[in-house]
Chains A and B, each alone.
Chain A
Amino acid sequence: MKKTTVISLLVLLLGAVIAIGSVSFLGPCVHEDGSFGACHWAGRAMLGIGVLLALQGAVALFCRDGGIRAGLMISSALTALLGLLTPGQLIALCGMATMRCRAVMQPAMRILCGAVLLISVIGVIAERKRTGEQA
Chain B
Amino acid sequence: MKTVSLALRNLLRKPGRTAALAALTALLAFSVFGGSIVVRSLRHGLDSLESRLGADIIVVPSSAQSKVSFQNMLLQGTTGAFYMDAANLDRVREVDGVALASPQLFLASLKADCCSVKIQVIGFDPETDFFIRPWMEESVSRELGELDVVVGCKVEAEVGEIIRIYDERCKVIGRLAATGTGLDTAVYCNMDTMKTLLQAAEAKGVSHKVSSGDSDEQVSAIYVKVREGCDIGEVNSKIQGHTRKASAVRTKSMLTDVSDSLAGISSTVTLLIAAVWVLALVILLIAFVMIANERKREFAVLRLIGMSRGMLSGMILKESALCSLAGGLIGILLAALAVFPFTTLIETSLGLPYLRPETGVIVTTGLLALAAAVGIGSLAASWAAFRLSRVDPGTVLREGN
Contact = CB atoms under 8 A, between A and B. Distances in A.
A104 B342 contact: yes
B116 A37 contact: yes
A69 to B, nearest CB: 23
Interface stretch (A5-13, A56-64, A75-83, A90-98): A90-98
Main secondary structure of the interface of A (DSSP, over half): loop
B345 A103 contact: yes
Contact of B344 (A94, A95, A98): A98
A81 to B, nearest CB: 18
Contacts of B337: 111
A31 B116 contact: yes
Interface stretch (B56-64, B149-157, B297-305, B360-368): B149-157
Contacts of A102: 156, 344
A98 B156 CA distance: 10
Q: Is the interface of B mostly helix, strand, loop or mixed?
A: loop
29 contacts: A29-B116, A35-B116, A93-B156, A94-B117, A95-B116, A96-B115, A96-B119, A96-B154, A96-B155, A96-B156, A96-B185, A97-B153, A97-B155, A97-B156, A97-B185, A98-B77, A98-B347, A98-B348, A99-B115, A99-B116, A102-B156, A102-B344, A103-B342, A103-B344, A103-B345, A107-B342, A108-B341, A111-B337, A111-B341
Nearest to B151: A95
A97 B154 contact: yes
Interface residues of A, number: 18
B116 A110 contact: no
Nearest to B153: A97
Interface string B351-362: 000000000000
Interface in B137-164: 153-157
B185 A98 contact: yes
B8 interface: no
Interface residues of B, number: 21
B53 interface: no
Interface of A: 29, 31, 35, 37, 93-99, 102-104, 107-108, 110-111
A71 to B, nearest CB: 28
B265 interface: no
B342 A99 contact: no
B114 interface: yes
A93 B156 CA distance: 9
Nearest to B114: A95
A95 B153 CA distance: 11
B106 to A, nearest CB: 17
Contact of B348 (A29, A93, A103, A107): A103
Contact of B155 (A35, A95, A104, A108): A95
B157 A95 contact: yes
A95 B342 contact: no
Nearest to B76: A98
A35 B154 CA distance: 22
A107 B339 CA distance: 11
Contact of A95 (B77, B156, B341, B347): B156
Contacts of B184: 97
Nearest to B337: A111
A96 B154 CA distance: 6
Nearest to A114: B337
Nearest to B119: A96
Nearest to B118: A96
Quick one: which of A99, A104, A111 has the most chain B CB within 10 A?
A99
Contacts of A108: 341
Contacts of A110: 341
A67 to B, nearest CB: 28
Interface in B162-206: 184-185
A111 B338 CA distance: 9
Contacts of B119: 96
A98 B116 CA distance: 12
Contacts of A29: 116
A97 B176 CA distance: 14
Contacts of A107: 341-342, 345
Interface in B288-343: 337, 341-342
A116 to B, nearest CB: 14
